[in-house]
Amino acid sequence: MTDNRDRRIVQSENAIIQAGIKVFLVNPMAGMSEIASSSGVGRTTLYRHFESKESLVQAIALHCFDEIDEALKPLHGKTGRKAIEAIFELLIPVANSYRFLNSLWPEACSDPQVEKRAQQATKNVEWLMEKAKKQNEIDKSLPSVWLTTFFEMTLYGAWSLLESGDINTEQATVFATRSFFNGCS
């Protein structure tokens, strides 16, 4: 009986998170009622799992970090330029799924876990930049914090142009990679 209840709780939470992603993609300012309706659970159930929109957004942000971590698993063992290129290849296609987090980031990052995951992601990119500098694949005179910020902004630019429909995923990946390495080599 306990296993079934635990499974139902997990299923409800997953349904709410998936509904939140879908609804927030269309309308980042959507309310909890829309999320409950889309997830197929009642408002009472929704609030039992997530006491506020902020707590739901934080759970979605953590879910997104988990999915990104999973997507980046093939990078293990790669360093330097190959890893940076692979990040562009892996993350640009999933950008559309998480673009709503930009507008909801102030709510998401107020959670210590979300902030910790964001800081760890930045540290991981800084580490890759250091590796690429040591391997003479990018300009050693550029500070890693600059390279990391430039990388993140290049990724963000690709996501923005994808969202606007000005370029497709393949173009975004090629342009981001070329721009980053032409600017930093």
81: domain CATH number is 1.10.357
Q: Does residue 101 have a pLDDT over 80?
A: no
Among positive and negative, which fits the CA dihedral 173, 124, 97, 110? negative
Q: What is the pLDDT of residues 118-157, one digit of tens each?
A: 898 888 889 889 989 999 999 999 999 999 999 989 998 9
- Assess whether 126 and 174 both reside in one domain: yes
CATH number of residue 37's parent domain: 1.10.10
- Assess whether 135 and 44 both reside in one domain: no
Q: What is the pTM of this model?
A: 0.79
pLDDT at 97: 65
- Assess whether 167 and 111 both reside in one domain: yes
Q: From 27, 37, 7, select the one nearest 16 (Cα to Cα).
A: 37
- Assess whether 30 and 94 both reside in one domain: no
- CA pair distance 112, 40, nearest whole angstrom: 29
Q: How many domains does the chain have?
A: 2
- Assess whether 45 and 66 both reside in one domain: no
- Assess whether 36 and 124 both reside in one domain: no
- Assess whether 5 and 80 both reside in one domain: no
- Assess whether 38 and 121 both reside in one domain: no
Domain of 10? 1-51
pLDDT band at 39 (very low <50, low <70, confident <90, very high): very high
- Assess whether 90 and 139 both reside in one domain: yes
- Assess whether 38 and 71 both reside in one domain: no
**Mean residue pLDDT across the chain:** 88
Q: From 32, 167, 48, select the one nearest 96 (Cα to Cα).
A: 167
- Assess whether 39 and 108 both reside in one domain: no
- Assess whether 88 and 177 both reside in one domain: yes
